[in-house]
Amino acid sequence: MFRLIMLVVLAAMPLGCTNRVCAAVEQLYEARTKVKLPKPTKWAALPIVQVCDTAPVTKDEVKLLLAQWSAHGAPELEVVDSKCVGDMPDKGFIQIDMWRLEWRLQILGAFAVTVVWPDTPEAGLIMVPDGNLAVLRHELGHIWFQGHAAKRGHVLCPYVDCIGDDWSGVRRAFRGWGL
């Protein structure tokens, strides 16, 4: 069936491709394409997520988004409100805060950022500019995945305008890593 649709589209290409037809074919192709994700990061110990008092999101919003990740295989994490004193989170914590100026100047062009120390992380920092929950959900994914999914509409799509609700491959990646 897929090949037949592709044949029709290829035959119609010289006549011009309407946006609707091209978008439909692209969706069919993407639905059949397996999403490859990097292996999830194993933490030294499960971190506690601190929502800083200056963060543009609430503890309840973070809990809701982490529950979505848990529903797709991620371990459940504790979430607490915090004053977030100090420049960096302590060992065993992930801080969620607004963009900090000194970091913003060092990471030009990024809309939001998650910093998790490599290999076996013990701390992390997520900075978001506003309360965009899709972006925060994406950044929370970087607690586990140090990379992106090359699929438009995926929760780990690398660009703000392509982040969506597609979770393909996430559960399989967690299962394959033994989390």
Residue 42 has a pLDDT of 86
Residue 72 has a pLDDT of 96
Residue 179 has a pLDDT of 54
Residue 110 has a pLDDT of 82
Query: Whole-structure pTM over 0.75, yes or no?
Result: yes
The list of the chain residues with pLDDT below 50 reads 1-30
The pLDDT tens digits of the residues spanning 90-99 come to 999 999 999 8
Residue 178 has a pLDDT of 65
Report d(CA 163, CA 132) in Å as an integer: 11
Residue 1 has a pLDDT of 44
> Which residue intervals of the chain bear CATH 3.40.390?
48-177
Which of 9, 165, 154, 170 has the alpha carbon at shortest distance from 74?
Answer: 170
Amino acid at 31: A
Backbone dihedral region for residue 29 (phi beyond 0: left; psi -120 to 50: alpha; all else: beta): alpha
Please give the class, per CATH, of domain 48-177: alpha beta
